Amino acid sequence: MDDKIVNVKEGGGEDESKQSEKIMRETEVGKPKNNRFEPGSIHNSEVFSFWKEDLKASPWVLELLQKGYKLPFISLPGHYEERNNASARAEPAVVSKLVKEMIDLKIVKLLDEKPHCVSPLGLVKKLNEDGSIKYRLVFDASRCVNLHLEEKHVTLAHLEKALEMTKRDDFQSIFDLQSCYYHVKIFEDHQKYLGASCKLEGQKRYFVY
Question: Is 19 inside any structural domain?
Answer: yes
Question: Is 158 inside any structural domain?
Answer: yes
Q: Determine how β-strand 117-118 pairs with β-strand 80-81.
A: parallel
Asked whether the beta carbons of 37 and 17 are under 8 A apart, the reply is no
At 86-132, the pLDDT tens digits run 999 999 999 999 999 999 999 999 999 999 999 999 999 999 889 89
Q: Is pTM beyond 0.85 here? A: no
Q: What is the mean pLDDT of residues 40-48?
A: 88
Q: What radius of gyration do the chain's Cα atoms show? A: 21
Asked whether the beta carbons of 40 and 184 are under 8 A apart, the reply is yes
For residue 159, report the phi and psi dihedrals to the nearest 5 degrees: -60, -40
pLDDT for 179: 72
Domain that holds residue 192: 4-36+68-208
At 155-168, the pLDDT tens digits run 887 878 888 888 88
Question: Is 51 inside any structural domain?
Answer: no
Q: Give the total number of structural domains in the chain.
A: 1
Q: What is the mean pLDDT of residues 122-147?
A: 94
Question: Is 45 inside any structural domain?
Answer: no
pLDDT for 157: 79
Share of the chain above pLDDT 70, in %: 80
Question: Is 57 inside any structural domain?
Answer: no
Asked whether the beta carbons of 61 and 30 are under 8 A apart, the reply is no
